Amino acid sequence: MTAVQTNSAVPAPVYARAALRHLRRADPILTGIIKRVGPFALTIRRRRFQALARAIIFQQLAGRAAAAIYQRFVALFPGRSFPTPAQVLALSEDQMRRAGLSRQKALYLRDLAAHVENRSLSFDRFAAMSDDQVVAELTRVKGIGRWTAEMFLIFNLGRPDVLPLDDLGLRIAVRQAYKLSALPTKRELERIGERWRPYRSAATWYLWQSTRVVLPSDGARPPAAAQSQPKVGALRRRRNHR
């Protein structure tokens, strides 16, 4: 088995082979991490609205509590399937509050749904946009900050060259892997990450895996973005990592 082969249910990103070739040549430390971690199994999620709504619901909450609220929210809709933007807009604030959502998160979800419903936020346009343009589009929505937008780029759009400088899990992993005396600053992390271009998403994923952190694509824990202080909502360590 090669390092880019994955379970058939979770195909590797289209850039996987090129990324691994580059990272092995560019960085001997990452070469060791790649060998230890194994297949590049980053999962690309295609449900755009659902991913962003889940990110909002999970903000600044422990995984179990957030999952319970998420399940109660989905249970408000027929067949317990994830709602459309129009269905979210049809909910009253009281219904959202009964599901456990705060007034602020209910406002954020309605703002996201309104942007998608009136097409001021159109996922179809993202293919023609740069990463920075997508981030700018997403952060116009209340409750979506840069960290959430970067996770969306990596795990939903499959962009290959995203380096989330505010992510605490990544900073911890870099400190351990490169034997730094302290967590790297944004400038230091950016400097180290230059050698990974144009595949910084793959490098980030491997560094997360090297310390066994929960990823936004893991079913047990969607993105938990703390918007005002992204590093607070960064990835947390996994207890049961496979």
Helix count and strand count (H, E) for the chain: 12, 0
Strands (E), the chain: none
In the predicted model, residues of the chain with pLDDT beneath 50 are 1-9, 219-242
User: Could you give the residue ranges of the DSSP H alpha helices within the chain?
Assistant: 16-26, 28-37, 48-57, 63-74, 85-90, 93-98, 103-117, 131-138, 146-155, 168-177, 186-193, 200-210
Specify whether the CB–CB gap between 161 and 201 falls below 8 A.
yes
pLDDT at 12: 73
pLDDT at 63: 77
pLDDT at 213: 55
Residues 103 and 52 in one domain: yes
Domain termination site, one of 155, 181, 203? 155
Handedness of CA 188, 25, 163, 208 (dihedral sign): negative
Tell me the C-alpha to C-alpha distance, in Å, between residue 161 and each of 1, 103, 110, 155, 158.
26, 36, 31, 12, 9
Q: Which amino acid is at 44?
A: I
Asked if the structure places residue 119 within a domain, the reply is yes
Q: Tell me, what CATH number does 144's domain have?
A: 1.10.340.30
Asked if the structure places residue 89 within a domain, the reply is yes
Residues 66 and 147 in one domain: yes
Residues 62 and 131 in one domain: yes
Cβ-based neighbours of 51, under 8 Å, separated by 6 or more: 45, 152, 155, 156, 222, 223
Residues 30 and 129 in one domain: no
Domain termination site, one of 132, 155, 178? 155
pLDDT at 222: 36
Distance CA 222, CA 235 (A): 10
Residues 62 and 28 in one domain: no
Residues 197 and 170 in one domain: yes
Asked if the structure places residue 6 within a domain, the reply is no
Q: Which amino acid is at 209?
A: Q
pLDDT at 9: 40
Residues 143 and 167 in one domain: no
Domain of residue 99: give its range: 48-155
Asked if the structure places residue 134 within a domain, the reply is yes
Asked if the structure places residue 122 within a domain, the reply is yes
Q: Tell me, what CATH number does 32's domain have?
A: 1.10.1670.40
Place of tokens 């971690």: 37
Asked if the structure places residue 5 within a domain, the reply is no
Asked if the structure places residue 240 within a domain, the reply is no
What's the structural domain count of the chain?
2
Distance CA 58, CA 102 (A): 11
Half-sphere exposure of 160 (CA within 13 A, CB side): 16
